[in-house]
């Protein structure tokens, strides 16, 4: 059963009816969201529980990514103002890792978001600023080495006060790229996640954010605007922690489905040969061939892309289009981002072959050959309705 509701951070127990909540006008559209009422879980063996999932969803159903991309991508119109196409924030970046938050944030801009912010440590900020003047960089995070133990509480409150001034403005929050694993930094980010939920801001968790969430499942469990994007190495500990079993590739669809359901209906995008996307109710796959080159940073492109497409899907949740009106916006955002990244990676590989780097893929996100590679059909012209990710003639 599907119902529309407003989300806050105090979610009722499973099997309860969730009513509409009142929210500030700036976040009302986030509350136009479809959620599934989840049942309780038995203590049967994992194999028996997986059998129940099989009856809920078709296995290995390939998503109609082309149709979804067309449906959720907003038109480019001269009447729109800055910010209406998306305001994305990335929480990540420390002195060791500065590239990952940049890749996520700049990918969001390349796809079509209007504004992209990065909240990082003071050491990382000058480097990230130097990568691109397009990004708005906030050097507010701290690591343990730079503060005394007696000052940690005060610093945490200062960080939260600073980010709280911005959170309500964002359409989506990406947590984890280049975050690192400093204990104090992770504690601060945990509080940021809680604040984002209180304001109903969608949260994309990737990279070191998955390490944090795996060790503190309550941070996202039961929050239907949360998306986890694990790779094979990040997926294994998540499966072990939540389902207490090993990864089962032969029943990968059912396992993703059960993991999402067990975590209260959040969305899981499991990266792999085929990306598997489940939200506790259905599972879709995206199998479009991308690139055999596995350079680091592609996951960061994906997290920034999901943030943009998810915000677009939420913004169009009232549109009377059966392709999107009855589908979980988090699922739509993941499908669109997965398909576009794969096409961009394929286009970059055609040009650079083995020397392909993440920056080459980012450069291809808005190129016409990505569309020609198969995202849109020859009979469909984006010139006619001005839909586009970067320009009228582009996807």
3-state DSSP helix/strand/coil percent for the chain, to nearest 5?
Answer: 45, 15, 40
CB 263 within 8 A of CB 220: yes
3-state secondary structure of 8: coil
13 known member of a binding site: no
275 known member of a binding site: yes
274 known member of a binding site: yes
Which DSSP letter does residue 39 get? P
C-alpha 255 chain-centroid distance? 20
CB 204 within 8 A of CB 307: yes
CB 116 within 8 A of CB 90: yes
Burial level of 16, CB count in 10 A (0-12/13-18/19+)?
A: exposed
280 known member of a binding site: no
* Residues comprising the chain, all counted: 395
129 known member of a binding site: no
370 known member of a binding site: no
149 known member of a binding site: no
Identify the helix (H) or strand (E) that includes residue 141: strand 136-141
297 known member of a binding site: yes
4 known member of a binding site: no
Residue-by-residue DSSP string for 249-300: GGGHHHHHHHHHHHTTS-EEEE-SSSEEEE-SS-EEEE-----S---TTHHH
Question: Alpha-carbon distance 195 to 205, whole Å?
Answer: 15
272 known member of a binding site: yes
Question: Alpha-carbon distance 357 to 20, whole Å?
Answer: 46
Question: Alpha-carbon distance 380 to 316, whole Å?
Answer: 21
233 known member of a binding site: yes
CA atoms within 13 A on the CB side of 228: 34
84 known member of a binding site: no
126 known member of a binding site: no
C-alpha 38 chain-centroid distance? 22
235 known member of a binding site: yes
295 known member of a binding site: yes
Residue-by-residue DSSP string for 146-207: GS-GGGHHHHHHHHHHHHHHHHTT-SEEEE-TT----HHHHHHHHHHHHHHHHTT--EEE-T
234 known member of a binding site: yes
352 known member of a binding site: no
Neighbours of 272 (CB within 10 A): 14
300 known member of a binding site: yes
290 known member of a binding site: yes
254 known member of a binding site: no
237 known member of a binding site: yes
240 known member of a binding site: no
Residue positions forming the annotated binding site for ATP: 271-275, 290-299
Residue positions forming the annotated binding site: 178, 231-237, 271-275, 290-300
Residue positions forming the annotated binding site for (6S)-NADPHX: 178, 231-237, 300
């Amino acid at each position: 059963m599907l119902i529309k509701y407003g989300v806050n951070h105090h979610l009722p127990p499973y099997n309860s009816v969730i009513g509409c909540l009142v929210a500030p006008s700036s976040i009302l559209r986030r509350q136009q969201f479809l959620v599934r009422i989840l049942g309780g879980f038995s203590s049967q063996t994992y194999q028996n529980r997986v059998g129940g999932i099989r009856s809920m969803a078709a296995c290995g159903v390939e998503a109609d990514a082309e149709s979804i991309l067309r449906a959720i991508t907003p038109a480019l119109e001269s009447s729109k103002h800055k910010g209406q196409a998306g305001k994305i924030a990335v929480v990540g970046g420390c002195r060791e890792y500065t590239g990952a938050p940049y890749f996520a944030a700049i990918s969001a801009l390349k796809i079509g978001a209007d504004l992209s912010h990065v909240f990082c440590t003071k050491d990382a900020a000058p480097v990230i600023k130097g990568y691109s003047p397009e990004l708005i960089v906030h050097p507010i995070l701290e690591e343990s080495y730079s503060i005394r133990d007696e000052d940690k509480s005060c610093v945490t409150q200062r960080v939260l006060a600073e980010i709280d001034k911005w959170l309500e403005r964002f359409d989506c929050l990406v947590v984890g790229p280049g975050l690192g694993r400093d204990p104090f930094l992770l504690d601060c980010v945990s509080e940021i996640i809680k604040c984002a939920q209180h304001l109903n801001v969608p949260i994309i968790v990737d990279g070191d954010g998955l390490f944090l969430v795996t060790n503190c499942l309550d941070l996202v469990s039961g929050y239907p605007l949360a998306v986890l994007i694990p790779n094979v190495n990040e997926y294994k500990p998540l499966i072990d922690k939540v389902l207490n079993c090993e990864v089962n590739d032969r029943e990968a669809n059912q396992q993703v489905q059960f993991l999402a359901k067990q975590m209260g209906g959040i969305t899981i995008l499991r990266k792999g040969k085929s990306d598997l996307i489940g939200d506790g109710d259905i599972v879709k796959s995206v199998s479009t061939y991308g690139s055999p080159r596995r350079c680091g940073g592609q996951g960061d492109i994906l997290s920034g892309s999901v943030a943009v497409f998810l915000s677009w899907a939420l913004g169009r949740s009232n549109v009377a289009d059966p392709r999107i009106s009855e589908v979980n916006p988090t699922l739509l955002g993941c499908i669109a981002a997965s398909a576009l990244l794969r096409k961009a990676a394929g286009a970059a590989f055609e040009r650079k072959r083995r020397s392909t780097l993440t920056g080459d893929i980012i450069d291809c996100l808005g190129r016409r050959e990505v569309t020609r590679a198969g995202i849109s059909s020859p009979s469909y012209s984006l010139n006619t309705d001005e839909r586009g990710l970067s320009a009228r003639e582009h996807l």
